[in-house]
Amino acid sequence: MRDRMGRVTSTGIVYGVLVFTIIVGTILTATEGRNFFATGNIAAILTFTSTLGLIAVGQTMVILVGSLDLSVPYVVSLCSVIAGSVMAGETGSIVPGVMIALAVAAGIGAVNGLVVSLLGVHGFIATLGMGLIISGYMTANYKGTSGSAPEPFRVIDTANIGPIPLSAIIMLACAVLAILMLRKTRVGHHMYAVGGDREVARLSGIRTAVPVVVAHTLCSLLAGLAGLLLLARLSVGNPTIGSQGDYDLMSIAAVVLGGTLLAGGKGNILGTLGGVAIFAVMDQVMSVIEVPSFLQDVFRGLVIVLAVAVYARREIERRPAPFERPTALDAALQEAR
């Protein structure tokens, strides 16, 4: 029995918690006389996961390399206002609008990555500063909402493929690409290596700056994409939409909830998606059964801490006691010698 428990990964636990949340959610929704699995309810949950999911996928990569990105809410807002202003309701301007917004996002991410890796500034401070820089730019240039999304662009938010909203499919596609990158490509493996131990990675011949810059660039790019989704949803660019969503802290919470170590080097995208789904289910259920907003915050805080506590304890118990029977990995390492 203990052996079987030992094989449960942190991702397994996250999905266990998710199933538990869904069961509780179904019961609570039923007490209101509503069906949790109704198409509308599921669609609302999936739509919620699309924006936070995109950002959390990017945040996972940044946390994996041992950094943090607190500038995401401002990148989200900036991309929504830039794309909105460029499009200005013209169908023909959709492509340039998207391109410019994403290019700006990627540029911001690259600067974050370079500041973190080359100047040696902690990611917390580098991206906090970057967030301030962007927020100053936006207060100086955008008063209130600006620009508007043309009708064909808004379809991104309203369209469904089968029962699944298009925005959720975009998010899932990005997540799959990110998983493939982390598992199959050189830079993906280097991200784990640099996050695990930067000095060891450097001594092993890895250019430690490259994975950090790539992770930050992709994170900002995905945040920019989330900004575009919000533009399609609201149909106007809003310079405060990112900060309203608390995307910086919520995405970090989702990543840690998904079993990724905050110190970097260990974790995966799949767990993060589970973490985002837990938030989405919780939010939807609480709004269906009309929990007062102040209690929603209290619950959210409690669930984050307790859920992380569940697997944080396990992680420790799973570590074999020193000098006990070696694990398969140790055996393999011995063999390789």
Nearest CB to other proteins, comparing residues 122 and 186: 122
Of 33, 40, 162, 292, the one binding other proteins (CB under 8 A) is 292
Q: How far is the CB of 331 from other proteins (least distance, A)?
A: 25
Told to check if 304 binds other proteins by CB under 8 A, we report: yes
Q: How far is the CB of 315 from other proteins (least distance, A)?
A: 8
Instruction: Point out which span in 52-60, 86-94, 131-139, 147-155 binds other proteins (CB under 8 A).
Output: 131-139
Q: How far is the CB of 299 from other proteins (least distance, A)?
A: 8
The 3-state secondary structure of the chain reads: CHHHHHCCCHHHHHHHHHHHHHHHHHHHHHHCCCCCCCHHHHHHHHHHHHHHHHHHHHHHHHHHCCCCCCCHHHHHHHHHHHHHHHHCCCHHHHHHHHHHHHHHHHHHHHHHHHHHHCCCCCHHHHHHHHHHHHHHHHHHHCCCCECCCCHHHHHHHHCEECCEEHHHHHHHHHHHHHHHHHHHCHHHHHHHHHHHCHHHHHHCCCCCHHHHHHHHHHHHHHHHHHHHHHHHHHCCECCCHHHHCCHHHHHHHHHHHCCCCCCCCCCCHHHHHHHHHHHHHHHHHHHHCCCCHHHHHHHHHHHHHHHHHHHHHHHHHHCCCCCCCCCHHHHHHHHHC
Q: Considering Cα of 208, then 211, then 214, then 220, what sign does the dihedral take?
A: negative
Nearest CB to other proteins, comparing residues 5 and 331: 5
Q: How far is the CB of 316 from other proteins (least distance, A)?
A: 6
For 290, the token pair is: 């009309």
Site for other proteins in 69-108 (CB under 8 A): none
Of 294, 319, 335, 336, the one binding other proteins (CB under 8 A) is 294
Site for other proteins in 133-152 (CB under 8 A): 133-137, 139-140
Nearest CB to other proteins, comparing residues 151 and 199: 199
Told to check if 20 binds other proteins by CB under 8 A, we report: no
Told to check if 121 binds other proteins by CB under 8 A, we report: yes
Size of the site for other proteins (CB under 8 A): 43
Told to check if 200 binds other proteins by CB under 8 A, we report: no
For 242, the token pair is: 């990112």
Nearest CB to other proteins, comparing residues 23 and 262: 262
Told to check if 126 binds other proteins by CB under 8 A, we report: yes
Beta carbons of 157 and 229 less than 8 angstroms apart: yes
Told to check if 313 binds other proteins by CB under 8 A, we report: yes
For 140, the token pair is: 């100086």
Nearest CB to other proteins, comparing residues 20 and 137: 137
Site for other proteins in 235-264 (CB under 8 A): 249, 252-253, 256, 262
Q: How far is the CB of 249 from other proteins (least distance, A)?
A: 6
Residue ranges in contact with other proteins by CB under 8 A? 115, 119-122, 124-126, 128-137, 139-140, 249, 252-253, 256, 262, 292-298, 300-302, 304-305, 308-309, 312-313, 315-316
